[in-house]
């Protein structure tokens, strides 16, 4: 009897917390409704059904806990039940357990305590692979300590990295700001072994990138200095993305920018409020996006004229991996005739997820709570039964659709990696004629009344460059596996 009561309290308490926190209107919807004779009966019936379902779950938990062939971890059972509920909803709702919550928040915020380097295994696999610094981020403790691209990391806090996995090495270097990290490394092109002690700082992973690096390691955002065409690549919508974008645009304006290519390819999205803030930079008035949920009225986000950047043409690059916040921005600029959309039809994610703290912030639910609608009123979500001819995603403007084949994606990835590498690239140069970028430049040039830049013809197809990934259907898997400790 005590065991049954324990199961009931454990399961119903946790699941009840989830239900209440993910449905804040529960218990309030009838209180807000006009008083009628039916209301108490409806509320009673709903509550009775709810507790009956909780009893089924508690009974199942009790049976497994008592009678399964071997002893089970009760927490794992409850977490499995929660994950099962999330799988019944949609691909974007999921449970984040205490072990994964820190990494999840770091990924969303693009901010953590660390020393400020990107690392990767070179070569990617095999007995000779070495944990190598691919880029120190300017201004960070590692950059100031003299860590250089190509340096090989041998030890972290006295522990050899020879048998470490990437996640373990990154975990050793990350931690609370202000604490010391001891790193033993071998400088690139030298036999010298050095031991460095660096104090962790708050590291912000940049999401606003250019096409090439300047000599000081910072990004060059002016793609064509003669025609004054800027180029900004946005890799995600983190808490600092709008601020970074404003700084890049200010630099371009100071350099006399006359047109902008805004690259949202492979951008999987991020924070909704940041997407609104970024779209608002380019739109003077009107609706940017509206959201509507089961328990909320429609909430439009409106553009404000103050601070709007206008007077220059914009081409937005998107592809099949541009999703969510990327689609909010590209749809808003397209519907307001502020930009032409170039490339491929976007992913089609028109839903909004809220992160709901559980267990006092020890775990969380990422739960779909609303859908968003572009300024023209359409929801661009691609549902499981959506067909190719249905109206989902953001389509390129007429005449500006250019699709990349899987082979194109592989070669573009290798080409992009070489251009992003601050080091002098090793091995033969990977050449790639970016037809999507060229089309964007053609549009900008036509608006400026100048001839478009002359770009090289596509190089003949080559064998897959060493380390280049196979083409996938997920944006994050088509990028290099660099980690940021």
Q: Is the peptide bond before 296 cis (omega within 30 degrees of 0)?
A: no
CA distance 379 to 376: 9
Q: Is 214 a catalytic residue?
A: no
Which two structure tokens, joined as six digits, stand for 19? Answer: 């239900």
Catalytic residue among 106, 151, 224, 335, which? 335
What phi, psi does 344 have (nearest 5°)?
Answer: -120, 165
Catalytic residue among 330, 349, 413, 439, which? 349
Catalytic residue among 238, 241, 324, 330, which? 324
Q: How would you write the chain as a 3-class SS string?
A: CHHHHHHHHHHHHHHHHHHHHHCCCCCCHHHHCCCCCHHHHHHHHHHHHHHHHHHHHHHHHHHHHHHCCCCCCHHHHHHHHHHHHHHCCCCCCEEECHHHHHHHHHHHHCEEEECCEEEEEECCCCCCCEEEEEEECCCCHHHHCCCCCCCEEEEECCEECCCCCHHHHHHHHCCCCCCEEEEEEECCCCCCEEEEEEECEEEECCCEECCEECCCCCEECEEECCCCEEEEEECCECCCHHHHHHHHHHHHHHCCCCEEEEECCCCCCECHHHHHHHHHCCCCCCEEEEEEECCEEEEEEECCCCCCCCCCCEEEEECCCCCCHHHHHHHHHHHCCCCEEEECCCCCCCEEEEEEEEHHHCEEEEEEEEEEECCCCCCCCCCCCCCCCCCCCCCCCCCCECCCCHHHHHHHHHHHHHHHCCCCCCCCCCCCCCHHHHHHHHHHHHHHCCCCCCCCCCCCCCCCCCCCCCCCCCHHHHCCCCECC
Q: Is 349 a catalytic residue?
A: yes
Q: Is 324 a catalytic residue?
A: yes
Q: Which residues contact 442 (CB under 8 A, 6 or more apart)?
A: 452
Instruction: Cite the active site residues.
Output: 324, 335, 349
């Amino acid at each position: 009897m005590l065991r049954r009561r324990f199961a009931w309290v454990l399961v119903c308490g946790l699941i009840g917390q989830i239900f209440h926190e993910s449905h804040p209107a529960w218990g309030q919807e009838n209180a807000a409704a006009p008083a009628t004779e039916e209301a108490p009966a409806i509320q009673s019936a709903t509550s009775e059904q709810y507790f009956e379902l909780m009893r089924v779950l508690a009974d199942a938990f009790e049976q497994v806990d008592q009678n399964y062939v071997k002893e089970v971890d009760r927490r794992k059972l409850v977490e499995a039940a929660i994950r099962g509920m999330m799988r019944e909803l949609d691909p974007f709702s999921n449970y984040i357990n205490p072990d994964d919550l820190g990494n999840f928040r770091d990924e969303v915020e693009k901010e953590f305590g660390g020393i400020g380097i990107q690392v990767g295994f070179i070569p990617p696999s095999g007995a000779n692979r070495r944990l190598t610094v691919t880029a120190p981020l300017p201004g960070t403790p590692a950059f100031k300590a003299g860590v250089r691209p190509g340096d090989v990391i041998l030890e972290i806090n006295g522990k050899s990295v020879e048998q470490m996995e990437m996640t373990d090495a990154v975990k050793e270097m990350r931690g609370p700001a202000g604490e010391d990290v001891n790193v033993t490394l071998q400088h690139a092109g030298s036999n010298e072994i050095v031991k460095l002690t660096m104090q962790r700082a708050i590291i912000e992973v940049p999401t606003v990138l250019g096409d090439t690096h300047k000599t000081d390691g910072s990004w060059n955002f002016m793609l064509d200095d003669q025609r004054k065409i800027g180029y900004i690549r946005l890799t995600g919508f983190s808490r600092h993305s709008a601020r970074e974008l404003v700084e890049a645009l200010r630099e371009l304006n100071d350099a006399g920018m006359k047109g902008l290519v805004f690259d949202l390819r492979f951008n999987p999205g991020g924070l909704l409020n940041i997407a609104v803030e970024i779209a608002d930079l380019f739109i003077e008035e009107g609706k940017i996006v509206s959201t509507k949920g089961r328990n909320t009225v429609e909430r439009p986000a409106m553009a404000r004229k103050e601070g709007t950047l206008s007077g220059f043409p914009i081409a937005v690059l998107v592809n099949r991996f541009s999703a969510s916040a990327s689609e909010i921005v590209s749809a808003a600029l397209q519907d307001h005739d502020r930009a032409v959309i170039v490339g491929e039809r976007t992913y089609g994610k028109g839903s909004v997820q809220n992160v709901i703290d559980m267990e006092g912030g020890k775990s969380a639910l990422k739960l779909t709570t609303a859908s968003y609608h572009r300024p023209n009123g359409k929801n661009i979500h691609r549902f499981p039964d959506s067909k190719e001819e249905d109206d989902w995603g953001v389509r390129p403007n007429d005449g500006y659709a250019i699709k990349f084949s899987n082979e194109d994606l592989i070669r573009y990835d290798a080409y992009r990696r070489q251009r992003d590498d601050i080091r002098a690239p090793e091995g033969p140069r990977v050449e790639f004629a970016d037809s999507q970028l060229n089309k964007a430049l053609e549009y900008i040039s036509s608006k400026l009344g100048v001839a478009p830049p002359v770009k090289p013809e596509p190089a003949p197809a080559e064998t897959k460059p060493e380390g280049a990934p196979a083409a996938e259907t997920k944006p994050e898997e088509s990028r290099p596996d660099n980690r940021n400790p």
